[in-house]
Each structure stands twice: as C-alpha cells, then as structure tokens.
Amino acid sequence: MDQDHLKSLLEQVRSGAVEIDAAIERLRHMPFENLGYATVDHHRAIRTGMPEVIFGKGKTTEQILGIAERLLERASNVLVTRTNEEVAGRMKALYPEAEYFPACGALRVWRDRTMHGKGPLAVISAGTTDMPVALEAVVTAEVMGNDVDQIHDVGVAGIHRLFGNLDRITKARVIVVCAGMEGALPSAVGGLVSCPVIAVPTSVGYGASFHGLAALLGMLNSCASNVSVVNIDNGFGGGYVASLINRL
C-alpha cells in the first residue's frame, strides 16, 4: 500500500465512506507498506551519499547492465563488485566516467565525490598477494567518500616495515587490515592503535591455510580488543563497515 492508498483510505474514514472496523481490517493486511515508509524515510536520512552496490558474482552482463542503468537514474554513485572486462567495456561505453579495477574486478561510477569520512581511513595489507582484496576495500571506501591511505606489504614477519609506517597508522580514524596466511597483522596493528580495526581474512596461502580459514580463525581470536572481522576475501565488506564508522 503506497501513501496514496493510505491517504485515500483515511479520507474515506473521515468521510464516513469506510467504517472504522473495516479500515482496521484493511490496515491489518498492510503491515509491510507502513513498515516500508519508516524504513525508507529512515534510510533516506542516513544513506546520503551512499553508493548503490551491485554484487556482480553470478549475474549475467545483461542483468548487471540493466540494474546499473536503473540505479544510475536516481543514484550518483554505483559500485559493481566481482565483475569482469566484458561488463566493464559495456559500462564504459555507456558511462565514460566508469572506472574498472581489473585486479579485484570492481567497477564504479563515482560522480558525487563529496567527502563523508571525518578523518583518514587506512587500508593495510600484509603481502602483495593480499592487495586485490585490499584494493576492493579501497575502491569501496573511496566511493563512499573517504580519504584512503594505503599501506601495503607490512606483514608481521617483517614487522619493522609496519613500524616504519607507524605515523600514518596512528593517524587513521578507522583501519581495514587485509591478511592471509596466519592472519596475524590485525592483532599487531590493533595493539598499536586505539581506533576500530576491521580485519579482512584473505584466501592467500598454501596448504593448511585452507582457503583463508587459518587467517579467519586467527583474526577472530585476536588478542587485541579493537578488532572485528568480516568474511574471507570480503574487501568490500571491510571497506563498507569502515566507511560507516568513519561517518560517525
């Protein structure tokens, strides 16, 4: 039931054309619409500047293009994750401002570049093979209006490299840390700063890394209290949660 129907119903109540009990009965069967109102309003207020997101995995090129077209009619910024060259080519033909990041398969149309983050948001990766996941976090955080500081290849086995960037790390208002293998970097970073750290386990590793399980367990068991975790290889999620926090 949209607002017009509700208004019309109430007008009929006022005019006496509909009995109160009948109106109650009809209202009884429209829970979602009322809910929908609240939700939409609420979101409209908070979601200012949020990009619309399309999860590309498992969708056809046509599906993605169709959804993107619809979203770009009303949204300034659109992010497509886990997509490919073909979609990128088609999108760029339609929206020349579209940027494609082949390393992580992300594509974004970033028109409204208002900054929403209230401070620097750092994205840190342990090794060069973790960089695609980190890049997804960077692309996400940028399109959500953050000034992103990237620090790569500072894993715990060369911990001096981490300390060489201590300055930049301690300046961040919120940090995303991407690491595979033993997943120890978020703990090390978390022990050096007091801000929230979002840990993103990556599926980088050999043998008993079990496609990111070792890193995931390591991060969940972090001895640093300021660490929370998102799914394996979920750079988007890491960038998204960090961006929400950085707006506060």
Scan residues 156-185 and list those touching its own copies (CB under 8 A). 156-160, 163-167, 170, 173-174, 180-184
Residue choice 78, 109, 151, 216 for contact with its own copies (CB under 8 A): 216
Residues in contact with its own copies, shown as a per-residue x/- string from 116 to 155 under the rule CB under 8 A: --x-------xxxx-------------------------x
Instruction: Establish if 34 lies at the interface with its own copies (CB under 8 A).
Output: yes
CB of 32 vs its own copies, minimal distance in Å: 4
The answer to whether residue 115 forms part of the interface with its own copies (CB under 8 A) is: no
User: 97 or 231: whose CB is closer to its own copies?
Assistant: 231
- 85 or 210: CB nearest its own copies: 210
Residues in the chain, how many? 248
| 236 is a site residue for its own copies (CB under 8 A) | yes
Q: Which is nearer to its own copies, 44 or 74 (CB)?
A: 44
**Which residue from 36, 61, 84, 150 is in contact with its own copies, where contact means CB under 8 A?**
36
42: contact with its own copies by CB under 8 A: yes
Site track for its own copies across 49-88, x = CB under 8 A: -x--x---xxx---x-------------------------
Amino acid letter for position 170: T
Distance from C-alpha of 103 to C-alpha of 194, rounded to nearest angstrom? 31
Report the amino acid identity of residue 176.
V
Complex with its own copies: residue 72 or 229, whichever CB lies closer: 229
